[in-house]
């Protein structure tokens, strides 16, 4: 196979994995059960009613697995979904059905494929952020950075041993009398007790990270916030205006050597946003795991752990108005690089979606 064919195959597989990720995000499965009582015998109308109740139960189960903020958003449009199930349910599979003639009850269990993308659109259309006039919207900026381990230094265990020796002596004296006279016999015995102990010191591995703000991740975050109706300004456009107070490079540097971002970096960025009339600052950090082979598809899989927060910096002190994580997402691809890009895109989109849901429940925009 020539190089062109290999490249074409890689492009096809990449597009397939991206489409799979998009489809997985738009369609979800849920199970439900419906039961109805019938008179003398079960009719077709009874079966239809039980099926509809099972579908409604599946929709309720879908909602119960949402985050708290997302569930509150869903409750606002729940009746709209239930009144038009055919629009939002892609397919229904009957898993089990029983007819109990003693109790005269018919029960059916189903699995549905629910078009979550359409539900998200319906939620967005009913949000204050999307319906607000442009002059009334506040600016939102974000800094999302991702890191992967570039080097690991392992330290040997250090063993410290302490020894204590204790000597215990015992003496005895005996007088012996005979015709020749008296004699004195003395005996002495010494026992030695050794006590040992100590400790083992294991120093944590020293990790160095390679930090970046991937284009795919940034594009996903911008898409979610913009589609939700927020006025998004990317952080790179604020750096010059803030005279370096908001520095993406400082975020990368902090995350490259520690477990969290420095307080001084966050304070400086919040001050810059306040001075530039940017009300909301979203900050996200992602840890990229090692690549592995997916046993199902045979593709390479990479996991990403993400944390995210949104600060309202309009007041005297920045206030956290939304927070997600840590949560893990995985991406697949023909190689580790593609799988990582897909995982970062999915994690960035999911984190931004969670932050948006919490902001919408507070009518922030």
Per residue, the 3-state secondary structure of the chain, as one string, reads CCHHHHHHHHHHHHHHHHHHHHHHHHEEEEEEEEEEECCCCCCHHHHHHHHHHHHHHHHHHHHHCCCHHHHHHHHHHHHHHHCCHHHHEEEEEEEEEEEECCCCEEEEEEEEEEEHHHHHHHHHHCCHHHHCCHHHCCEEEEEEEEEEEEEEECCCCEEEEEEEEEEEEEEEEEEEEECCEEEEEEEEEEEEEEEEEEEEECCCCEEEEEEECCHHHHHHHHHHHHHCCCEECCCHHHHCCCCCCCCHHHHHHHHHHCCCCCHHHHHHHHHHHHHCCEEEEEEEEEEEEEEEECCCCCCEEEEEEEEEEEEECCCCCCEEEEEEEEEEEEEEECCHHHHHHHHHHHHHHHHHHHHHHHHHHCCCC
- Per-residue pLDDT at 23: 40
pTM: 0.70
What integer is the mean pLDDT of 51-78? 94
Identify which of 8-22, 114-128, 159-173 has the greatest average pLDDT: 114-128
- In the predicted model, is pLDDT for residue 140 greater than 80? yes
- Per-residue pLDDT at 19: 41
What integer is the mean pLDDT of 300-319? 94
What integer is the mean pLDDT of 215-231? 88
- Classify 181 in phi/psi space as left (phi over 0), alpha (psi -120 to 50) or beta: left
What integer is the mean pLDDT of 157-161? 67
Domains and CATH numbers, the chain: 3-119 (3.10.129), 135-153+205-361 (3.40.50.10610), 158-201 (no CATH)
Q: 165: which 2 tokens? A: 């020796």
pLDDT confidence bin for 157, thresholds 50/70/90? low
- Per-residue pLDDT at 67: 86
How confident is the model over 224-259, as pLDDT tens digits?
A: 999 888 999 999 999 989 998 999 999 999 888 877
Alpha-carbon gap, residue 96 to 109, rounded angstroms: 5
Q: How many C-beta atoms surround the C-beta of residue 275 within 10 A?
A: 15
- Per-residue pLDDT at 184: 54
Average pLDDT, the chain: 83
- Per-residue pLDDT at 5: 40
Strands 231-232 and 139-153 come out as parallel
- In the predicted model, is pLDDT for residue 210 greater than 90? no
Q: Which carries the bigger pLDDT value, residue 107 or residue 19?
A: 107
Burial class (CB in 10 A: 0-12, 13-18, 19+), 154: exposed
How confident is the model over 312-363, as pLDDT tens digits?
A: 999 999 999 999 989 999 999 999 989 998 999 999 999 999 999 999 999 9
Alpha-carbon gap, residue 143 to 138, rounded angstroms: 17
- Per-residue pLDDT at 103: 92
What integer is the mean pLDDT of 207-214? 71
Angle, vertex CA 240, rays to CA 234 and CA 244, nearest 5? 100
- Per-residue pLDDT at 188: 60
Alpha-carbon gap, residue 327 to 316, rounded angstroms: 31
How confident is the model over 279-297, as pLDDT tens digits?
A: 999 999 999 988 899 888 8
- In the predicted model, is pLDDT for residue 171 greater than 60? no
- Per-residue pLDDT at 110: 97
Q: 160: which 2 tokens? A: 């410290």
pLDDT confidence bin for 15, thresholds 50/70/90? very low
- Per-residue pLDDT at 297: 86
- Per-residue pLDDT at 159: 66
What integer is the mean pLDDT of 195-205? 61
Q: 78: which 2 tokens? A: 């729940």
Half-sphere exposure of 29 (CA within 13 A, CB side): 6
Percent of the chain with pLDDT over 90: 56
Q: Answer yes or no: are the C-beta atoms of 302 and 331 closer than 8 Å.
A: yes
Alpha-carbon gap, residue 331 to 244, rounded angstroms: 34
Nearest Cα residue to 149 out of 206, 204, 207, 203? 207
């Amino acid at each position: 196979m020539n190089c062109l064919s290999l490249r074409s195959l890689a492009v096809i597989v990449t597009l397939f994995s991206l489409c799979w990720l998009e489809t997985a995000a738009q369609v979800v499965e849920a199970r439900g059960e419906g039961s109805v009582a019938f008179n003398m015998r079960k009719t077709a109308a009874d079966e239809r009613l039980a099926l509809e109740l099972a579908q409604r139960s599946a929709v309720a189960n879908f909602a119960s697995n949402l985050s708290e903020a997302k569930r509150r958003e869903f409750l606002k449009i729940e009746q709209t979904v239930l009144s038009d199930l055919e629009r939002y349910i892609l397919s229904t599979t009957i898993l089990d059905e029983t007819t109990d003639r003693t109790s005269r009850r018919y029960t059916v269990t189903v699995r549905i494929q629910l078009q979550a993308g359409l539900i998200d659109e319906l939620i967005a259309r009913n949000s204050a952020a999307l319906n607000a006039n442009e002059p009334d919207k506040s600016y939102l900026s974000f800094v999302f950075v991702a890191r992967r381990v570039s080097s690991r230094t392992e330290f040997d265990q250090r063993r410290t041993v302490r020894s204590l020796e204790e000597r215990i002596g015992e003496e005895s004296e005996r007088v012996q009398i005979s015709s020749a006279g008296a004699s004195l016999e003395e005996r002495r015995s010494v026992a030695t007790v050794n006590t040992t102990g100590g400790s083992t010191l294991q120093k944590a591995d020293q990790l160095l990270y390679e930090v970046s703000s991937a284009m795919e991740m940034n594009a996903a975050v911008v898409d979610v916030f913009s589609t939700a109706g927020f006025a998004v300004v990317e952080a790179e456009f604020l750096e010059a205006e803030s005279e370096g107070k908001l520095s993406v490079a400082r975020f990368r540097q902090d995350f490259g050597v520690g477990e969290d971002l420095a307080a001084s970096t966050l304070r400086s960025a919040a001050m810059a946003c306040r001075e530039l009339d940017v009300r909301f600052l979203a900050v996200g950090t992602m840890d990229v795991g090692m690549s592995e082979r997916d046993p199902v598809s045979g593709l390479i899989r990479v996991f990403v752990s993400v944390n995210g927060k949104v600060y309202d910096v309009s007041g005297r002190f920045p206030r956290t108005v939304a927070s997600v994580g840590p949560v893990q997402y995985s991406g697949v691809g023909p190689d580790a690089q593609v799988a990582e890009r897909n995982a970062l895109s999915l994690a960035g989109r999911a984190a931004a979606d969670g932050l948006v849901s919490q902001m919408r429940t507070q009518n922030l925009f």
